[in-house]
Amino acid sequence: MRILITNDDGIHAGGLQALAAAMTELGEVYVVAPAVERSAVSHALTLFEPIWIEHLPARPGEALRAALSGTPADCVKLAIRSLLPAPPDLILSGINRGANTGTNILYSGTVAAATEGALAGIPAIALSLASFDFQDYEAALWVARELVPEVVGGGLPAGTLLNVNLPPLPRQEIRGVRMTRQGRARFAERYVERRDPRHRTYFWIEGQRDGHPEPPGSDETAVEEGYVAISPIEFDLTAWRAMAPLAARLGNLEVEMAPGLVVGGGGRDRAG
């Protein structure tokens, strides 16, 4: 089994090192990650400059270790198409510093790397630890070891990846594992204006949770209550519940549903 491991915290991040070492027990490991931290770059690709690569000494059990100047999505694309001898059987992204729950998913390079795998038809898992300081990866590695055989053996629905978030707790203190939905948690940002020694203006982003109530079964709630949150996600951004009501309102345009669409019941339905 070929396992591609990447992240957005950079090739030298502790979470990536721990994950790569653990996965050598389960398969042939290829590590392709950004040379420096590329957090919050979402699914950005490098288009107007070259992507530089540095081959680093592979660690025990690794078939490849490479640092790229590009983004997490670049790493996955380049690994699949150029660096690996054949497409990987699984992509693992992480273990990230900080939770990727709620709307953070939209900004996350960690989740984007796993999404790139899902778009390529490769099972993928994003792993995040809900802390920037907690560095006990035992629980995350336990979850990864349990998930990998199930995901590779049973597969995932087309275009689906698993977004896994863990509370910053020792394994023995974790209360359990929950299947969850993406929450609504977001940060209320503010930009602090400052001056550098040459009196030039610059801004530094700060923020905190906006306190918006979470929907039942959310990833954010599970992590706050001491559970591992596993959310199957996909990146179909169609607002299915809005489609029929919006079409009805646009009567003057004589809107018709595109062939093959099945929309009903206020839910998400698609033909096929």
Instruction: Give the integer Cα–Cα distance in Å for 96 and 178.
Output: 19
Using left for φ > 0, alpha for ψ between -120 and 50, and beta otherwise, residue 203 falls in: beta
> Which CATH number is associated with domain 2-181+214-233?
3.40.1210.10
Give residue 167's pLDDT: 97
The DSSP call for residue 83 is: I
- Stretches where the chain sits below pLDDT 70 are 186-187, 264-272
The DSSP call for residue 133 is: S
Give residue 253's pLDDT: 86
pLDDT digits (tens, 9 = 90+) for 16-46: 999 999 999 999 999 999 999 999 999 999 9
Q: What is the pTM of this model?
A: 0.90
Give residue 267's pLDDT: 46
pLDDT digits (tens, 9 = 90+) for 158-206: 999 999 999 999 999 999 999 999 998 766 778 899 999 999 999 988 7
Q: Do residues 25 and 57 make contact, with C-beta atoms less than 8 angstroms apart?
A: no
Any idea where the domains of the chain sit in the sequence? 2-181+214-233, 239-272
Would you call 5 exposed, middle or buried from its count of C-beta atoms within 10 A (0-12, 13-18, 19+)? buried
Give residue 181's pLDDT: 94
